[in-house]
Chain A
Amino acid sequence: MRSTWRKVRREAARFESGVLSGLGPANTPVSVRCSPRLDSERRVLLIDDPFPVVPGAASILFHRHDQRLWSLRSCLISGLLIAKGEQWIFRPRRFTPGMGVGGLRSYVRLLVNGRKATNQYLAAAGLPRPKAVWEDVEELLRLAASPELRG
């Protein structure tokens, strides 16, 4: 728990806002942008924004990129959302690092986890490993780089 909170504190402090997802009054998922504040003493995040969500299991996604949609940094914090008067208290339970968290390690993580998840999916579905069609990827990249289309 202490380790989870340390990671939450470090990453949440880097972002002005995140996306809170939980269940709405109709018991279906809703997502809203919020600006959580750290309460290090209680190891929770405090959320003042009014939301159409109900207390219970929830998550906060912190995510950003630059104008070129690159330089990603993201993490997902899963936990429990508790209503306290007009305020929400989010109690983190699990920290999942995304791209950019840990520097170079995040790329290795993407690569290793991506391959592992792919192999598991194919095995469970009884599918052979397909082949990427690199010629089509190259064609898309060529089209995207062409001055006529760049506008």
Chain B
Amino acid sequence: MLPSIEWKSGRIVIATSIGLPQKVYNIRRRPDVSLLFSEPTGSGLTDPFSVLVEGSAEVSDTLFTSLSQIDDADVRAALDRDALALLRRQPAVGIYASNPVARALMDWYFFRLLVMVTPRRISWGRGNPREWDALDVA
């Protein structure tokens, strides 16, 4: 999962494949979510603190297969920026598109829905989560 921050609205945007739909079904049943950022491998950071985002999420009904199909320019820009950053670190994902067989088998990976998370509370720190700093944002 690749969460992107759309700075203009302060929401977190995730483009999730319908081939891995459990989070979509969960959110449609109950929109409360939490996102934990606690493992920095590959981020370039050393010993960062952890961040927990609690909030509510909604899932688009509209399926997209290319970022160019997303109407909201700010959301599109956030996803585009982070997709590029991801591919620069993880070029191996290109195998999904590398030949006709891979494309036929993995096309579903690119059938995506937008998940928009509106943060309600953000907390951060190290060690005991009960002692973390927190900010209510909604």
Contact = CB atoms under 8 A, between A and B. Distances in A.
Interface in A54-96: 63-70
A114 B87 contact: no
B73 interface: no
A134 B52 contact: no
Interface string B32-61: 111110110110000000101010000001
B123 to A, nearest CB: 9
- Interface size class, chain B: 35 or more
Residue of A50, A114, A138, A150 with most chain B CB atoms under a 10 A cut-off:
A114
Given A134-B103, A144-B84, A64 B41 contact: yes
Contacts of A125: 61
Contact of B108 (A28, A68, A118): A118
A134 B94 CA distance: 11
B94 A141 contact: yes
Contacts of B87: 140-141, 143-145
Interface stretch (A5-13, A29-37, A39-47): A29-37
Interface of A: 19, 21, 24, 28-33, 49-52, 63-70, 111, 113-115, 117-118, 121-122, 125, 127, 130-134, 136-138, 140-141, 143-145, 149-150
